[in-house]
Structure formats: structure tokens, C-alpha cells
Amino acid sequence: MVADKESCIELFKSIGLTEQKAQETLRNSELSTQLEQIINEAKQHLNKNENIPKTVGKLLYSVATKSKQQIQHLIPHLIKYICEDKIKNDVQLTAALDYLLTHPTEKIDTNAFEEASGIGIVVKPGEIDSVIEELITQNKEQLLEQRYEFPTGPLLAEARKRLKWADGKELKSELEVQLLDLLGSNDRSASSAVTTANTTKNKKSKKVNVSNATEHKNENVNASVLSKPKGDENSDNGLAGEALNFHKPGENYKTEGYVLTDKTMDLLKEHLKKTGGQVVTRFPPEPNGILHIGHAKAINFNFGYAKHNDGICYLRYDDTNPEKEEEKFFTGIVDIVQWLGYKPYKITHASDHFDQLYEWGKELIRRNLAYVCHQKHEELKGHNVPISPWRDRPVEESLQLFEDMRHGKFAEGEATLRMKCVMEDGKQDPVAYRIKYAHHAKTGDKWCIYPTYDYTHCLNDSIENITHSLCTKEFQARRSSYYWLCNALDVYCPVQWEYGRLNLLYTITSKRKILKLIQKEVVKDWDDPRLYTLTALRRRGFPPEAINSFCSKIGVTMSQTALHPDMLDSFVRDTLHTTAPRLMVVLEPLKVTITNYPYDKETELTVPDFPHEETRGSHKIVFDSIIYIEKTDFSEEARKDFKRLTLTQSCGLRYADLAITVQEVVKDANGEPIELKVSCQKIDNKSKPKGFIHWVSHPSTCEIRLYDRLFIHPNPDDPKEVPNGFLSDINVNSLTINSHALIDSGFKDGKPFDKYQFERIGFFSIDPDTTSEKFVFNRTVALKEDKKAN
């Protein structure tokens, strides 16, 4: 090891790193230690008195950044090949690393390693020229048409596919040269440093500098740009970041941090036999509450990733906490999963395997990897838990005590089974089993001991041959115990991948806190439309397609996200705009009598359900001499920005082809308008009014529920924002009920959850509280604000 920071920087610079890059590397203690060891190892194979060549130095740096923990013992072999100039470029290095990751526990087969890494293969310049020329010829027509707007990424990708061992820089350089030869300079502001004339002359030198030849804005092109075998097109299906780096089934060992044992490879082979190489995921909710918006992301990710890879996804109930589980939660969960459009491959329960889990608990004791402990629950809280005085009790004693726990010989809290491992957050010996004298929804009273999440989760994943155990970041601290437990029992070990959970501002999703809101009668139940449970969003009228689109748009990242609910609302509007038929509804009615009604009797008008697509259907409404408009659509005082009805300004009626003009205002004792008497005129191009309003005639009464944010502050859980707790942050105006709204005569029937756009008001959904006497509507979202008109 070098003695000080300055020596370290000089060491890193000796392999070609810049001062800045060396400084950045030094700040990463793990990387700098690794790189230092690699450089010192390389010096054993090179002339110690000479600087390491930059080409070698670059590859050594790549080894430090790309190699994984599982193959650290094989790194010296890799360094030897680099120093002997057998591994010459990143392409060969990547292939060599991949080979070693695929054979992490085997003795290196030199011939197989060299063949897999392209050792000894030389790609001649003429081969590169020919392949690039062929690709340009295939796409010549599009290139001449699009010129430098043509996306060249796929061209390079195809070239790399055909010449696997060619140096990427040489491929890119040749492509730039031939593009310049075909298209000429892309620099319109000044003379190009390299002209078309000398391009041909210097073509073979590979030293032409073309700065703009591959500049383009969009790498995502239609598959037709390159001729590809059918079914060979790649799509990331909205996946991003780490999700694109997920391992292939059976290649768990290639994942950073995955723990290998001498039985790993055999277990993976057996796993592949059972799955056939298929991706297998699971969505594992606890049946002790209703799913919320964060679960929508998890559902989309687990089911979506499996679907994208032609795999399967289980719905598994994590039913290990019998006191809080209810049948309505079991049925509610599967109902929501199906509502979002997903069908589980199979519905399972953690309790399906309670017998096997119990046997594995005894096996852990036999292997001296678990023990029965009598520390109290309060003593086990936190991370600085004192070491149990029973940790080293004899195996036979723990086995007997575990049997006694199973047969009800201890009271709750008197004994637990603990595992001898340390979690990533430093917590030692997590509990595997605890005593609970509670009736279980599925197993009844068979058990009085129940496994914990830390014990159950990974083993159920193993039983179901899960390939990708996808969970949110808070479970990252459990990853080490996840791997430890599977390996301790010599069973197949899946890979746990963590991603950032989805949080929305102005709401809470904690089941415990939602239950408090219900108990305090702040909200009515789990499906109160002011909540962001998925049942609440469904009741409010959110379409599942909008929720799925929202989840797809935000993608899957490793960082936690807290988004404004307006973002979700915009997806809801976009969906409902094309799916919700229009109706006219008046929230605050003002009676209008047309004194010169132009017809002998009431008349029927045909109104399109979707005015922007009239072929999609219509409905009939009644028009008569008495109509009702919104109170806010009339103003006695004329204002410059007010384009609706005033004493001096006419206004058009939607779909009636008439404009009305006020003749008289009838007021109540308080001076408030209660009726307008108006005349009407046919609208023509010369007398077209500035504004049009909606109206109803012969209407029915309905109830309208308008919802606002439940909480005043963006983060009601944050003590800095809300020192007195979330219950003190309730918005008392979060629900407004209007029982005297009027709906147009064209609305005859509807069922709960049917969705409509009330013209000029917003999007609404029929609430399940609807009766045969009165329809009840929930406002889903308001219309977007129209900044061009009042």
C-alpha cells in the first residue's frame, strides 16, 4: 500500500489518469484500494522501471471499475493477460470478465477462456472497411435523405455484431470517414477541418477528425433502419437505469454482491431445469390493509418485468402476521391487481409452506446457525442490541425449546428463534420465529409460532424459484441476511434487487396511519376518495390505464421519489379526455326563462358524446323555454375579461345554436339573482357571441362530491413541516358535497365507476353510494385551467 494521498495520485497518474480523474478515484476508498492493488500486481508483469503504457493503464482502470466481488480471486489472471498484450481492448476485456463471472468457482480452462475472450484474433482494417461500406450501402437512400440527422447508433451496433472483436474506436472512426465521404462536411458555419477531397486520400489512415459526423439527437430509431432478423429487435419497455442491467435467469452470480458457495452453480443448474430459463417474479403484499399508489408501481414493475421477458409473476400473500389479516384484504388485493390489468400466474401464500419453513428452522439449529432466545421484545429493539446470553446454548437444547415453542409451552414474548447473522444495517441475529396465539386466516389454529418476514421472504422466493426478487429500498438492509439464509440451508438463492419506492406529496400511505384516520372519522374507510389507496382512486374515478401509464412514465429508479399529485392527475386527464363521454351538469343552478322561445313546445337536440370525434356516438337532450345555467356564468357587472352573460353582453348556449340576452333580473329578498328573463337570437357568423355556456333543461337532481387535498402541507408526516403530527394537518375543506346539482335530461342510467366529462367543469365518476332515487358523482379531476378564457 502507498503511504499517502500524494503518492496515490502519482500512482494513478502513472497509468494515464488525469489529475482530476485521479482525485475523483481517490475519493472512492473502495475503488482506490482496488486500483492500487491492480497496479502493483501489473508491475510484477512489466518492467518496473518504466511507466505503464496508457493502453494498458486504461484496461487496468476498467478492471477496477467493472470487476465484481465474486471474481476478485481471478483478477491476477486477467491482469497477466492485459500486461502480456493478449487482451488489447475493452471488447476483449468485457468478454473476459463475462467468462470469469460465468465460471466463478471453476479452475480456469485456458483454451475456453482465450476463445471466449477473442485472444489472438486480429481484425484487419480491410475487414472494418468492408463491413462499414456494406452497411452504408444498405442505408444509402435514408442517409442521403436525412443526412446528419440519420441516427448512426444502430449502424455501429450492427457493425459491432458482425465484427465482435474489432476495436470500437476503429469502427466509429471508419464510419465517420465513410459518412463524410458520402455526405460531405456537416459544418455549415465555417470551412471543415477535413474536406471531402482529402478524406478519400487519407481514408485508410484512421486519423481523420470528423467532429459532427455522428452527432444526432435521437438514438431510438425505427427497426427498419437496419435489416434485422425477425424478432431480433430490442425494446426496453420503459425500463431504465439498473433495471436494464438485471441478470439473465441462471446468471445470478453475475450480480454485484451475490454470495457464492461451493454449491451455488449446481443449485442454479437445478433451478434452470425447473424454470426452463424463464423469468419468474412475485408481488408479495401483506394482507393487512388496502394497496396504495406505491403498490401500483410495484405491481407494474413485477408483473411488467415478467411480461416483458415472457416470464411469469406470482401473487403471493405474505400472511405471517395473523393478528392483522382479514379476508377483505385478501380479496381486495387480488381485485386491484386484476383491475390494473394483470393476471397472476398463480396465487400463493407464505403459509402454504409453513411446514417446510418449520423444518428448515430446525435444520438451522442443527447447523448451529440459530438458537432459542429469551430476551424480551423491548431488548431487541434498535440496532445496538446486547448479545444474547443464550446465543451459545447447546444445539439439542435449542431444538427441544423450539419444539416446546411449537407446542405452546411458552407465553407470547417468552421465547424467539434467532438466526446467527448480521444484517447490512448492523442489526445482529434477526428473529426467525416468534410466538403468537392468534387464529390464522388460512391455517386456522394449527400454529402458535409464526415466521418473520426476514426468515420467510427469501425462502418462499427460493421455493417458488423466483429469478428477480424486486423490492423497495427499505429492504436493502435485509439483502445480506437474504443471501445468508439461503446459503446457510444450501437452497437455491434468488437475487434481491432494490428500487426506489413511489411517494406522493400531500398524502400518507402508512396502513397504521390510514387506520387512525378511519378511527378518528377523518375519512370514511380505506376507499375514501381523498386517500391514495388504489381502491380510493378507483372510487374517485381514476382509470387503471392512467395509473399504469403514470408508473411507466416515472420508470424504475434506485432513488426514492416524492412526486406532486398533479403529475398523476395529468395522466388521468389524458386518459379520460378520450374515454369519458360528455354531459352537461349545472352545480349552482340559476333559472333562465326564454321569453321568445322559438318553438311551439319542448324540442330534442342531438349532442355528441365526444365533440372532437362526433362519429363515436351521441345522446338526446331536451331544450325548452326554461333552462338552468351556472350562477357564476352571469354577472351584473360587465368586466373586460368576462366573456359570458352580463346585462349588456349576450352569450351562446352550447348545442342550441342560440344566443341569449338578458331582459330582466329577478332577485330574492337579499338582492341575489334567482331568475333571468332573456330573449334568444339565432347565431350567425355576423353575430357570434364571445362566449358559450352549458345549460340543462328538464333536469334531474344529483349529488356532486368535490374533493381537495386531505392535508395542508406537502409532507404531513414530516415533524419539521407539521410539528403536531399528521392528524393536526387535516384540510377541513377536503370534501364539499353539493346535493342540488342538476344533470341534463340525456343522462338516463349508469353504474358505479362509469366516468363522464361534465362540460366546462371536470371529470366525474358514479359513486357506489348511488341509489335508484339519486345519482352520486365524485369529481375525479378538474379540467385543465384555460388561460386564454375566463
Confidence of residue 239 (pLDDT cuts 50, 70, 90): low
Q: Which residues contact 318 (CB under 8 A, 6 or more apart)?
A: 284, 285, 286, 287, 350, 453, 456, 457
pLDDT of 227 above 80: no
Q: pLDDT tens across 529-584, in order?
A: 999 999 999 999 999 999 999 998 888 877 777 899 999 999 999 999 999 999 99
Q: Which residues contact 578 (CB under 8 A, 6 or more apart)?
A: 610
- Residue 297 catalytic? no
Q: In the chain, which segments carry CATH 3.90.800.10?
A: 353-454
Confidence of residue 205 (pLDDT cuts 50, 70, 90): very low
Among residues 501, 538, 540, 705, the one annotated as catalytic is 501
CATH topology of domain 5-117: Helicase, Ruva Protein; domain 3 (1.10.8)
In the structure grid, which three cell numbers stand for residue 288, read together? Answer: 393487512
pLDDT of 608 above 90: yes
Q: In the chain, which segments carry CATH 1.10.8.1290?
A: 5-117
Q: pLDDT tens across 494-535, in order?
A: 999 988 889 999 999 999 999 999 999 999 999 999 999 999
3-state class of 668 per DSSP? Answer: coil
Q: Which of 420, 457, 469, 117 is nearest to 258 (CA)?
A: 469
Mean pLDDT across 752-772: 96
Pairing of strands 775-782, 762-766: antiparallel
Query: Which of the two residues, 2 and 686, has the higher pLDDT score?
Result: 686
Looking at the structure, give the CATH architecture of the domain made up of residues 353-454: Alpha-Beta Complex (3.90)
Count other C-beta atoms under 10 Å from residue 103's C-beta.
17
pLDDT at 672: 94
Mean pLDDT across 84-104: 89
Is-contact 675 590, C-beta < 8 A?
yes
pLDDT of 208 above 90: no
Least confident of 146-160, 231-245, 592-606: 231-245
- Residue 511 catalytic? yes
| CATH code linked to domain 582-782 | 2.40.240.10
Confidence of residue 6 (pLDDT cuts 50, 70, 90): confident
pLDDT at 378: 85
Least confident of 28-32, 85-89, 211-215, 322-326: 211-215
**Four-point Cα dihedral 311, 315, 318, 323, nearest 10:** 180
Query: Which of the two residues, 422 and 604, has the higher pLDDT score?
Result: 604
Among residues 316, 406, 511, 530, the one annotated as catalytic is 511
Mean pLDDT across 641-648: 93
pLDDT at 194: 37
Q: Name the strand (E) or helix (H) holding 762.
A: strand 762-766
Pairing of strands 502-504, 561-563: parallel
pLDDT at 244: 67
pLDDT at 4: 76
Among residues 24, 115, 286, 721, the one annotated as catalytic is 286
pLDDT at 595: 96
pLDDT of 60 above 80: yes
Q: What is the pTM of this model?
A: 0.77
pLDDT of 742 above 70: yes
Q: In the chain, which segments carry CATH 2.40.240.10?
A: 582-782
Q: pLDDT tens across 335-374, in order?
A: 999 999 999 999 999 999 999 999 999 999 999 999 999 9
Please give the distance of CA 559 from its chain centroid, rounded to a whole number: 11
pLDDT at 226: 32
Laid out side by side, the sheet with 658-667 consists of 626-630, 589-594, 673-682, 658-667, 651-653, 692-693
Mean pLDDT across 267-292: 95
Q: pLDDT tens across 31-57, in order?
A: 888 899 999 888 888 876 677 888 898
- Residue 639 catalytic? no
> How many residues appear in the chain?
790
pLDDT over 70, % of the chain: 91
Confidence of residue 330 (pLDDT cuts 50, 70, 90): very high
pLDDT at 554: 86
Q: What rounded mean pLDDT belongs to the chain?
A: 88
Q: pLDDT tens across 432-469, in order?
A: 999 999 999 999 999 999 999 999 999 999 999 999 99
Query: Which of the two residues, 359 and 218, has the higher pLDDT score?
Result: 359
**Most distant pair of Cα atoms in the chain: their distance:** 110
pLDDT of 230 above 80: no
